[in-house]
């Protein structure tokens, strides 16, 4: 399909849908690109010769009639000359269809009259006298036009050109939606809000107009701070102007500027980047100061064309100050403004009005700032070459490797060279976020996975979900938590472990499993032992062996993973750990349990310990697909291929789901769940959870500590649906000792229960009574969750990536940034020597 054959017709009703599009996935992944393009065609937003009709402004497909008008065949007309139907039978069409007619008419007017074909002209000349000069000129125009169209058609029909066209159309559609949607949009998290929150309404009521265009909040503290800051700035600016105008107290001016510069240099970079954490008063101070300093640099601070004799040293200090302010803003546009300022000053050869200066090239002592900027560390690249073990140096890296900055900060630097140096470092900071440009991208491996941990850790500082970089690098498939340890399974089948009490994130590989491809690992938040299942159906166990929980026929501890001989040849497909016992499921649906047997938790009809895996004969007629093992006061749940749930073991608080508190040493059916088609079950400390095929969550057992997610702490002896999640489709659940995390099909994470270590969410509440969304993970496309005793983990897909719209010095989605980029581009095209590094 040629790009000349399609037309983009964006429908306002679909704008909200497009604002949630993952643009980076469109640029990187072929499947996402095709899906978005097909969506445009299916929604009627891209039309062409292939279209059956056009969508009018009412969102209805309209087709062209015999006389060239569009009709939607809807009963929307009110005129008396027809039966109210917009159709060709009467000739009347509705207003949305009339707009289509007008658009087509306008398009025909805009299209130039086509030139006659060369074939037609040649045929005409075969029987006519020699063509006139004007006819020859027209023939050459026609021939050039035909060749141009032929070349354009050939170029646009290539695979690369087609994909480029798709991407440009999709990007155009996205920005159309972004520019005209009248909603509050959180692009980074993919959220669209059509109603104001209560706090927004309250703040709106407390706004007052000051002057013609400014509106400020009437918060008393903010108001006083603004008044004080304005008074201080006005006094400082007036003092400097007067001193420079009269030539008096210039030493005080220099001292004031130098002290301000020293104070700025003591701050960490990008302190003002996250505007939500900084008062608007500070942003106003920075903007007013930047404006004044810019006037000082160019020597025009009086508001007129008269240039004052500002000392050279003060102009240099002002230039460094405005650069430091840009460093504090941390935005791409602020640094680009500095680059443009330096180039503008350099183009004037000298921006100084001091007639004693003999320098032919504009320069200033910028080394202190340039050194600070060069020390900003880039993020680690998410793209690595799977084959190459050596880093390929880019032009920017080569350039920077040869740049040696003098040790003496007082040495003046050529302004053009300083601008080039800044552009090189901007490229360095942006490099980790740029996908590889190699034509054969199969050599590159993209790990966009993010692992977040929160709760009690020695190696996590701060509250709420924190990025676990060392774990993310492993490209994980599964995480399990024991009482002291995190067990990690990677996509390549390797197993790592790490302690909660470790000083740093340092996952260590379990060397004994290095030659095995592990497909599942198992642990329990209250256990001290572990299981690992390989693709060859082998089961390994290690850790504490009390009660025979390791399945080796004894109770001894195993420090290294050891093959469970009793399960060889059983074709095991799933394993689970309880607090003091273990379970495994074979390919034919047989359930094996072993370990501590008190309370009848093993399901063999006794309370005896079992030192080797033993099949539960009471379930021999069932095909078991899932099993869940409990803690010390243990009970066990399992699910059959028919969706039936069986429970056995200790029955305190009704956690077996059959009413009352009676225990059972043999599996018994949970009748209340017979008609809900359960897919997964989970055992917690004195409570149970079931997840259905359609994403509903049922809980029962001990309600103390709000572990059940119900409106009260009452114990529940029969399965009850968690109403707070009834409108969500939950796909996974994980249980800690006293808290629960649930993952929905939209990648949202909800939690409830004990929150003593903020393992549920970032709130000071000791208990989160009902399921609450973990706000910090919005838009992260989470695919897995796991709970430890007082910790929680969540991770995203390896190949998924949430597009970022705000990265210090790299990305800033604002109108000012785009305007500055356009200006820089024009400047580089008109005067490439100014930007070239």
pLDDT 10s digits, 636-684: 999 999 999 999 999 999 999 999 889 999 999 999 999 899 999 999 9
Confidence band, pLDDT 50/70/90 cuts, at residue 603? very high
Q: Inform me whether the pLDDT recorded for 385 exceeds 80.
A: no
**pLDDT tens, residue by residue, 625-648:** 999 999 887 899 999 999 999 999
Contact (CB, 8 A) for 291 and 301: no
d(CA 808, CA 803): 14
Confidence band, pLDDT 50/70/90 cuts, at residue 444? very low
d(CA 559, CA 544): 8
Q: Report pLDDT for 528.
A: 94
Per-residue tokens: 315: 């102009």
**Half-sphere exposure (Cβ direction) of 281: Cα atoms closer than 13 Å:** 18
**Half-sphere exposure (Cβ direction) of 178: Cα atoms closer than 13 Å:** 17
Q: Report pLDDT for 551.
A: 96
Confidence band, pLDDT 50/70/90 cuts, at residue 277? low
d(CA 693, CA 679): 5
For residues 26-62, one letter each, b for 16 or more C-beta atoms within 10 angstroms of the residue's C-beta and e for the rest, the string is bebbeebbeebbebbeebbbbbeeebebbbbbbebeb
Pick 159 or 482 by higher pLDDT.
482
- Among residues 830, 818, 803, the alpha carbon closest in space to that of 189 is found at 803
d(CA 793, CA 296): 53
Confidence band, pLDDT 50/70/90 cuts, at residue 352? very low
Contact (CB, 8 A) for 493 and 517: yes
8-state DSSP, 1: -
Confidence band, pLDDT 50/70/90 cuts, at residue 196? very low
Pick 190 or 275 by higher pLDDT.
275
Phi/psi at 198 (5° precision): -60, -40
Q: Which residues share a beta bridge with 385? A: 444
d(CA 624, CA 162): 50
Contact (CB, 8 A) for 791 and 735: no
d(CA 449, CA 459): 20
**pLDDT tens, residue by residue, 408-443:** 888 989 888 898 899 999 999 988 877 665 434 444
- Among residues 650, 656, 665, the alpha carbon closest in space to that of 606 is found at 665
d(CA 699, CA 722): 7
Q: Inform me whether the pLDDT recorded for 620 exceeds 60.
A: yes
Confidence band, pLDDT 50/70/90 cuts, at residue 276? low
Q: Report pLDDT for 531.
A: 97
Q: Report pLDDT for 49.
A: 66
Confidence band, pLDDT 50/70/90 cuts, at residue 211? very low
- Exposed, middle or buried by CB within 10 Å (0-12, 13-18, 19+), for 632? middle
d(CA 577, CA 631): 9
**pLDDT tens, residue by residue, 778-813:** 878 899 999 999 999 999 886 655 566 778 888 888
d(CA 498, CA 487): 7
Confidence band, pLDDT 50/70/90 cuts, at residue 212? very low
Contact (CB, 8 A) for 48 and 5: yes
**pLDDT tens, residue by residue, 228-245:** 778 888 888 888 888 887
Least confident of 37-41, 95-99, 186-190: 186-190
Q: Report pLDDT for 523.
A: 96
Average pLDDT for 606-613: 95
Q: Inform me whether the pLDDT recorded for 699 exceeds 90.
A: yes
Domains, the chain: 3-185 (no CATH), 207-376+384-436+812-835 (no CATH), 478-744 (2.130.10.30)
Share of the chain above pLDDT 90, in %: 37
Long-range contacts formed by 708-712: CB under 8 A, 24+ apart: 709/740, 709/752, 709/753, 709/770, 709/771, 710/770, 711/769, 711/770
Least confident of 548-562, 705-719, 810-824: 810-824
d(CA 436, CA 444): 7
Pick 284 or 200 by higher pLDDT.
284
What residue has token string 């390929």?
392
Per-residue tokens: 699: 């809980």
Q: Inform me whether the pLDDT recorded for 178 exceeds 90.
A: no
DSSP helix/strand/coil, 631:
coil
Least confident of 202-211, 459-468, 505-514: 202-211
Per-residue tokens: 210: 């000051």
What residue has token string 């492993």?
474
Average pLDDT for 370-381: 85
Which of 159-173, 303-317, 422-436, 693-707 holds the top average pLDDT? 693-707
Q: Which residues share a beta bridge with 732? A: 743
**Half-sphere exposure (Cβ direction) of 799: Cα atoms closer than 13 Å:** 10
d(CA 62, CA 97): 7
| Threshold 0.75, pTM exceeds | no
- Among residues 491, 498, 567, 574, the alpha carbon closest in space to that of 532 is found at 574
Confidence band, pLDDT 50/70/90 cuts, at residue 698? very high
- Exposed, middle or buried by CB within 10 Å (0-12, 13-18, 19+), for 338? buried
Helices (H), 111-219: 118-125, 133-156, 159-180, 198-205
Residues in the chain, how many? Answer: 837
Q: Name the CA dihedral angle for 244, 246, 251, 254, rounded to a multiple of 10 degrees.
A: -10
Q: Report pLDDT for 110.
A: 59
**pLDDT tens, residue by residue, 42-101:** 887 887 766 667 777 666 778 777 677 877 877 767 666 666 778 777 667 787 788 877
Average pLDDT for 293-322: 77
d(CA 328, CA 273): 7
Pick 362 or 837 by higher pLDDT.
362
């Amino acid at each position: 399909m040629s790009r000349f054959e399609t037309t983009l017709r964006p429908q306002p009703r679909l704008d909200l849908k497009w604002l949630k599009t993952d643009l980076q996935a469109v640029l990187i992944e072929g499947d996402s690109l095709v899906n978005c393009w097909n969506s445009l065609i299916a929604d009627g937003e891209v039309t062409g010769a292939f279209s059956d009709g056009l969508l009018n402004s009412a969102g209805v497909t309209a087709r062209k009639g015999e006389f060239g008008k569009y009709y939607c065949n809807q009963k929307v007309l009110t005129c008396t000359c027809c039966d109210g139907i917009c159709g060709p039978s009467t000739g009347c069409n509705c207003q949305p269809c009339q707009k289509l007619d007008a658009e087509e008419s306008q398009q025909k007017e805009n299209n130039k009259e086509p030139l006659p074909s060369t074939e037609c002209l040649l045929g005409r000349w075969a029987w006519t006298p020699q063509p006139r000069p004007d006819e020859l000129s027209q023939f050459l125009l026609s021939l050039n036009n035909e060749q141009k169209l032929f070349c354009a058609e050939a170029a646009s029909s290539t695979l690369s050109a087609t994909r480029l066209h798709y991407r440009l159309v999709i990007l155009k559609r996205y920005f159309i939606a972004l520019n005209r949607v009248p909603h509050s949009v959180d692009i980074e998290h993919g959220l669209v809000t059509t109603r104001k929150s209560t706090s927004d309404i309250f703040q709106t009521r407390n706004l007052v107009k000051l002057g013609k265009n400014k509106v400020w909040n009437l918060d008393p503290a903010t108001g006083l701070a603004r008044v004080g800051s304005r008074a201080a700035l006005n006094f400082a600016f007036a003092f400097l102007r007067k001193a420079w105008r009269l030539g008096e107290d210039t030493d005080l001016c220099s001292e004031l500027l130098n002290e301000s510069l020293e104070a700025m240099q003591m701050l960490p970079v990008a302190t003002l980047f996250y505007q939500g954490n900084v008062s608007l008063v500070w942003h106003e101070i920075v903007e007013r100061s930047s404006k004044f300093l810019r006037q000082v640099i160019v020597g025009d601070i009086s508001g007129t064309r008269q240039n004052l004799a500002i000392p050279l040293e003060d102009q240099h200090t002002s230039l460094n100050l405005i650069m430091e302010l840009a460093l504090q803003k941390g935005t791409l546009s602020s640094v680009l403004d500095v680059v443009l300022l330096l180039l503008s000053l350099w183009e004037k050869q000298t921006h100084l009005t001091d007639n004693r200066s003999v320098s032919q090239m504009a320069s200033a002592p910028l080394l202190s700032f340039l050194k600070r900027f060069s020390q900003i560390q880039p993020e680690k690249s998410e793209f690595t070459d799977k084959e190459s073990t050596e880093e390929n140096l880019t032009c920017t890296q080569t350039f920077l490797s040869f740049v040696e900055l003098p040790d003496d900060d007082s040495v003046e630097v050529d302004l053009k060279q300083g601008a080039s140096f800044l552009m090189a470092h901007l490229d360095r900071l942006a490099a980790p976020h740029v996908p590889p440009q190699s034509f054969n991208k199969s050599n590159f491996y993209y790990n966009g996975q993010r692992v977040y941990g929160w709760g009690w850790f020695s190696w996590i500082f701060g509250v709420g979900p924190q990025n676990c970089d060392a774990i993310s690098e492993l490209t994980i498939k599964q995480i399990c938590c024991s009482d002291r340890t995190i067990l990690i399974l990677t996509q390549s089948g390797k197993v790592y472990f790490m302690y909660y009490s470790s000083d740093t994130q340092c996952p260590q590989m379990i060397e004994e499993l290095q030659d095995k491809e592990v497909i599942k690992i198992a642990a329990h938040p209250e256990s001290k032992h572990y299981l690992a299942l390989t693709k060859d159906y082998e089961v390994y166990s290690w850790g504490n062996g009390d009660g025979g929980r390791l399945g080796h026929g004894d109770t001894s501890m195993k420090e290294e993973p050891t093959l469970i001989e009793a399960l060889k040849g059983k074709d095991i497909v799933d394993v689970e750990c309880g607090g003091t016992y273990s379970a495994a499921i074979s390919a034919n649906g047989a359930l094996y349990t072993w370990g501590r047997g008190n309370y009848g938790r093993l399901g063999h009809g006794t309370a005896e310990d079992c030192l080797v895996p033993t099949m539960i004969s009471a379930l021999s007629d069932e095909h078991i697909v899932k099993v869940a093992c409990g803690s010390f006061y243990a009970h066990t749940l399992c699910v059959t291929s028919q969706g039936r749930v069986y429970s056995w073991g200790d029955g305190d608080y009704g956690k077996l789901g059959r009413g009352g508190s009676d225990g059972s040493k043999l599996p018994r059916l949970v009748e209340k769940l017979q008609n809900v088609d359960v897919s997964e079950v989970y055992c917690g400390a004195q409570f149970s959870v079931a997840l259905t095929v359609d994403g509903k969550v049922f809980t029962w057992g001990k309600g103390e500590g709000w572990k059940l997610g119900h409106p009260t702490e009452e114990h529940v002896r029969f399965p009850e649906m968690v109403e707070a999640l009834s409108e969500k489709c939950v796909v996974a659940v994980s249980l800690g000792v006293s808290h629960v995390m649930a993952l929905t099909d939209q990648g949202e994470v909800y939690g409830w229960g004990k929150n003593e270590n903020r393992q549920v969410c970032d709130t000071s509440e000791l208990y989160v009574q009902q399921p609450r969304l973990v706000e910090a993970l919005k838009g992260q496309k989470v695919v897995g969750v796991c709970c430890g005793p007082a910790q929680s983990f969540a991770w995203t897909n390896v190949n998924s990536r949430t597009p970022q719209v705000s990265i210090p010095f790299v990305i800033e989605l604002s109108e000012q940034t785009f305007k500055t980029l356009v200006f820089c581009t024009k400047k580089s095209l008109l005067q490439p020597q100014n930007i070239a590094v």
